């Protein structure tokens, strides 16, 4: 009946909501891409992307959708699988970690709290196996 126990508990909002929704995620992705392009450890791999504004915008849109969807938001990722997208690039663990560092910097710049930061990294971390080739 009406006991408190039967009532719907306050559910924790999705990670998507706690990150601040699509606008906040888009800002993080923009800062992330800025960091990547400035990161001499990995920016050689993005030379062709940066030289082509269509490719840059597509990458931005795919990253926003991927993070939104992975965080439980109302987006669907329409890009390639991580294996397909990175095949033959020879990405190393060192480079993978550098890119994650660039994402962490972007999350910190936007004051994303530790819990949400770690949850997002836990969504992306398992993709390493499909991206790194060393």
Please identify which residue in 24, 46, 109, 116 interacts with ligand HEM, judged by CB under 6 A. Answer: 46
**Exposure on the CB side of residue 77, measured as CA atoms within 13 A:** 17
For residue 111, the minimal CB distance to ligand HEM (Å) is 21
Maximum alpha-carbon separation in the chain: 63
Count other C-beta atoms under 10 Å from residue 28's C-beta: 22
CA atoms of 90 and 122, how far apart (whole Å):
23
Of 95-114, binders to ligand HEM (CB under 6 A) are: 95-96, 99
Number of residues in contact with ligand HEM under rule CB under 6 A = 20
Of 69-98, binders to ligand HEM (CB under 6 A) are: 79-80, 85-86, 91, 95-96
For residue 114, the minimal CB distance to ligand HEM (Å) is 19
């Amino acid at each position: 009946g009406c006991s408190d126990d039967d009532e719907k508990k306050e559910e924790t909002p999705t990670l998507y909501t706690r990150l601040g929704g699509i606008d906040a995620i888009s800002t993080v992705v923009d800062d992330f891409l800025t960091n990547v392009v400035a990161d001499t450890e990995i920016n050689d791999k993005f030379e062709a992307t940066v030289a082509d504004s269509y490719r840059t915008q597509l990458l931005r849109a795919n990253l926003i959708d991927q993070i939104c969807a992975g965080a439980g938001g109302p987006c669907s990722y329409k890009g390639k699988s991580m294996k397909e997208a990175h095949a033959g690039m020879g990405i190393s663990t060192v480079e993978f970690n550098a890119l994650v560092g660039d994402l962490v910097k972007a999350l910190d710049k936007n004051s994303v709290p530790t819990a949400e930061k770690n949850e997002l990294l836990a969504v992306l971390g398992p993709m390493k196996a499909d991206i790194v080739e060393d």
